[in-house]
Structure 1
Amino acid sequence: MNMAFWVEQAGWFTTVQDLGRTGYEHLGLPAGGAMDPFACKAANRLVGNEDSAAVLEFSGAGPTLWSDTPALIALCGGGFTLWVDGMEMPAWTAVRVRAGQRVECRPHLAGFWGVLAVSGGWDVPEVLGSRSTFLKANLGGYQGRLLQPGDWLFSLREGWLPEERAGAVLPASRRPVYSPEAVIRVVPGPQCAWFGEEGEREFLSAIFQVSAQSDRLGYRLTGATVPRRAGELLSEGIPRGAIQVPPDGNPIVMMADHPTTGGYPKIAGVIRADWGRMAQLRPGEGKVCFETVTLEQAHQLYRELMANLNAIELENFSFWMRG
């Protein structure tokens, strides 16, 4: 039997995501995927899935689900706490739920994006090599749309419930620190010459605020302007994390569903190890400043982040959820 859940409340912005689809940027289709890839991988590993298994991702207000079958779940990321039948459960931990139990992801202060994994991974059709939702094209995920009340969700692997993993936990010391004021590390961008010493100095010394007009495509930054040369480039490819500066001098950080091409000069790029921490800054509230690292340092920082996933420990929380 596949694990099954009924959606009582869908939350504010709940979609199915995984680590994204690659190889289609030349057709204008971004890789997409989870806003916080580390949280996605951690949640999946806690319940015994492959890193790339589909998760539920949400922000603002989380979903409320009813379990129709026993299952193993894990909540990771920021901005939410996990409750089962009115009892708070630990995040970053594999929790066993029984049939008929109510699972809530309630808003919390630290962070903005939560992910919920289920043993076996969420079962939605694979489109172009990924189960991620791309809302602008109504592509992938759960019928290409946001989750809605009354939807049914099933796990991909029938009859698979690794009960021995109940209580698996990623220690707090190995989790990212989500802060409303973050120092995000960057590598220099390909158009640094457009900004000169004054522009680079302003970019690296300013404290920016993440605008409320931010979403999965890009985080707009306000509070300081970065001087740059007049004019525009011919459109060229844009990777996730690229920081473009339009003529008004307010930088835009490219996020998971970013456009695949653009003509604004790029002053820097957020390193992959900090994609999740950047995403977890709450639009309208979060503040960010940037510091430069070398490409070699960026690679090492990513290796160190991924090594944290190997620190998952088994602890006996499972008795909480056994009938």
Structure 2
Amino acid sequence: MSIKVVRPGLLVTVQDLGRFRYQKYGVVAGGAMDTGASRAANLLVGNEGHEAVLEITLTGTELVLEQDTLLAICGARMLVTADGEELPLWRPALVRAGTVIKFGACESGCRSYFAVAGGWDVPEVMGSKSTYLRGAIGGYKGRALKAGDVLAAGAPSLLSERMKESLQKGWRGYGSFAVPLWHASHFAIADNLADPIIRALPGTHYERFTAESKSRLFSQSFQISVQSDRMGYRLEGNHKLELAAPLELLSEAVASGTIQVPADGNPIVLLADRQTTGGYPRIGQVATVDIAVFAQLKPGDRFRFEWITQQEAEELYLDSERDLRMLKAAVALKFNSAN
């Protein structure tokens, strides 16, 4: 299977779950911003959750399928069409060769994940297919996709082949594609962004901030600044966050979701393409399950932080992993038992 890029839209890159064994050498982890949506899309086409997907930001992308393709699109709530007919999200779809897939404007959310059976066949760099744009490594030639690019898919799994055979029976009367009646929208963060709450824990230097700043972190709302990207989201609040006394720090390792506070008092939440170390005070740490919420927020969106304990954060993480395991098992059961 392969696709051709007709229009890349705002930004499309190849991403998997990132490269993690090289941070000690200064190589960023990268990977999909919304890992839940990325993993779900892969599972819905019979892949393992770590396979490479296309991360599609906001709008304008147009692709043409060069062969019959088993695909799934998860993430932002947006209108996606196949030859002008709305293509359902959060479920496997078998789409005919020659079909044009168009991504319209996002109704809610910011990023969508396009998975195909077998994943995208691009070279691994340091154990990952993820694109790191600043370093021009990974993905498709180390860059965002352009018009005219052609991407091939890898070898599909046995489960993917069974899914394709099952869905072929539903092509009659469905035009250019066939989909099952069920879907997996339980994982759709973009459906719950009307008044988003981001759960966070106190950071390493939380107690070094003023009492007012500690209170403001969890009481005021923040807006995503236009100075935000895959490296991190800069936040703007009504009140600055301040240290109780000057603090000299050495650069230390940082993680996805670390909330740093530079000298201007506007916090920064580090995300997928974060640097490997940071020297700003760390007032908080976003719970792992809510890091993906930032992937679906865009500049201008507002949210609030909510206090959470480490135990609660761990339990929520384990629940999210259980849900993905259940999705994987459900897909296998549905199609392994199909006639």
Same fold (TM over 0.5): yes
Are 2:10 and 1:12 equivalent residues in the alignment? yes
- In the TM superposition, residue 202 of structure 1 has moved relative to its aligned partner by 1.1
Moved more, 261-270 or 219-228: 219-228
Q: Give the structure 2 partner of residue 264 of structure 1.
A: 280
Residues 174, 311 of structure 1: 8 Å contact kept: no
- Deviations 1:117-143 (CA, angstroms, capped at 9, x unpaired): 011101110111100000011000000
Moved more, 164-173 or 187-196: 164-173
Q: Give the structure 1 partner of residue 291 of structure 2.
A: 275
* Distance in 2 of aligned mates of 1:169 and 1:246: 47
- What is the identity, as a one-letter code, of the residue corresponding to 1:103? I
- Aligned match of 1:191 in 205, 218, 222? 205
- Aligned match of 2:195 in 168, 181, 196? 181
* Distance in 2 of aligned mates of 1:44 and 1:127: 20
Q: How does 1:81-96 map to 2 (within 5 A)?
A: 81-96=79-94
- Deviations 1:270-290 (CA, angstroms, capped at 9, x unpaired): 11101111221111x211111
Q: How does 1:1-323 map to 2 (within 5 A)?
A: 3-157=1-155, 161=161, 162-163=163-164, 164=166, 166-167=179-180, 169-176=182-189, 177-224=191-238, 225-228=240-243, 229-283=245-299, 285-309=300-324, 310-311=326-327
* Distance in 1 of aligned mates of 2:298 and 2:206: 28
- Deviations 1:253-276 (CA, angstroms, capped at 9, x unpaired): 001001111110001111110111
Moved more, 87-96 or 190-199: 190-199
Residues 232, 264 of structure 1: 8 Å contact kept: no
- In the TM superposition, residue 172 of structure 1 has moved relative to its aligned partner by 3.2
Residues 180, 282 of structure 1: 8 Å contact kept: no
Moved more, 44-53 or 71-80: 71-80
* Distance in 1 of aligned mates of 2:254 and 2:288: 14
Residues 15, 130 of structure 2: 8 Å contact kept: yes
What secondary structure sits across from 2:11 in the alignment? coil
* Distance in 1 of aligned mates of 2:89 and 2:271: 25
* Distance in 2 of aligned mates of 1:202 and 1:84: 47
Moved more, 253-262 or 161-170: 161-170
- In the TM superposition, residue 62 of structure 1 has moved relative to its aligned partner by 4.3
Runs of 4+ in 1 over 3 A off after TM superposition: 158-162, 168-175, 311-314
With structure 1 as the length reference, what TM-score do the two structures score?
0.91
- The gaps in structure 2 that reach 5 residues or longer are 168-178, 332-339
* Distance in 1 of aligned mates of 2:186 and 2:140: 34
What secondary structure sits across from 2:109 in the alignment? coil
What secondary structure sits across from 1:268 in the alignment? strand
- What is the identity, as a one-letter code, of the residue corresponding to 1:199? S
- What is the identity, as a one-letter code, of the residue corresponding to 2:233? Y
Residues 71, 96 of structure 1: 8 Å contact kept: yes
What secondary structure sits across from 1:109 in the alignment? strand
Q: What is the percent sequence identity of the aligned residues?
A: 41
What secondary structure sits across from 2:311 in the alignment? helix
* Distance in 2 of aligned mates of 1:295 and 1:144: 37
What secondary structure sits across from 1:53 in the alignment? coil
- In the TM superposition, residue 30 of structure 1 has moved relative to its aligned partner by 1.4
With structure 2 as the length reference, what TM-score do the two structures score?
0.87
Q: Give the structure 2 partner of residue 317 of structure 1.
A: none
Moved more, 232-241 or 220-229: 220-229
Residues 19, 37 of structure 1: 8 Å contact kept: yes
- In the TM superposition, residue 311 of structure 1 has moved relative to its aligned partner by 4.0
- In the TM superposition, residue 80 of structure 1 has moved relative to its aligned partner by 2.7
Residues 252, 279 of structure 2: 8 Å contact kept: yes
Number of aligned residue pairs: 312
Q: Give the structure 2 partner of residue 320 of structure 1.
A: none
- In the TM superposition, residue 57 of structure 1 has moved relative to its aligned partner by 0.2
